[in-house]
Amino acid sequence: MNLLEIMNATEKGVSTQNILKEKASVTLMQLKKDAVLKEHQSMTNAMLVLLSGKAVYEEKDRTEALNQSMDFVRIPGHVTHKLTALEDAQLLLIQ
């Protein structure tokens, strides 16, 4: 299997596909250029890994550029954050 092939082509700005959910959650995310995953909070710590494209992760006092494949950001639980795609982007969210 190939993670990049799991995501179906879509015209939606943001789409997700959960690929593992037992004791952990692994979600494949796709954001079209300029799409924004609006501000939200995670209940647990997480890691967001860029697979392709470019994106920016933002919290109140922190901004992380995800510019090349395998760039990642650690996301603390209960912290408000958002994600913006600078290019079409595919990411892996691990919680």
CATH number at residue 36: 2.60.120.10
Domain span at residue 77 reads 3-8+24-94
Residue 48 lies in a domain: yes
Q: What is the arithmetic mean of pLDDT over 56-81? A: 96
Residue 85 lies in a domain: yes
Residue 35 lies in a domain: yes
Share of the chain above pLDDT 70, in %: 84
Question: Position 26: which residue type?
Answer: V
**How many domains, the chain?**
1
> pLDDT tens across 29-58, in order?
999 999 999 999 999 999 999 999 999 999
Report how far residue 68's alpha carbon sits from residue 55's, in angstroms, rounded to the nearest whole number.
Answer: 9
Q: Where are the alpha helices (DSSP H) in the chain?
A: 3-6
Residue 16 lies in a domain: no
- DSSP bridge pairs for 28: 17, 92
pTM of the model: 0.80
Residue 18 lies in a domain: no
12: pLDDT confidence band, cut at 50, 70 and 90?
A: confident
Residue 14 lies in a domain: no
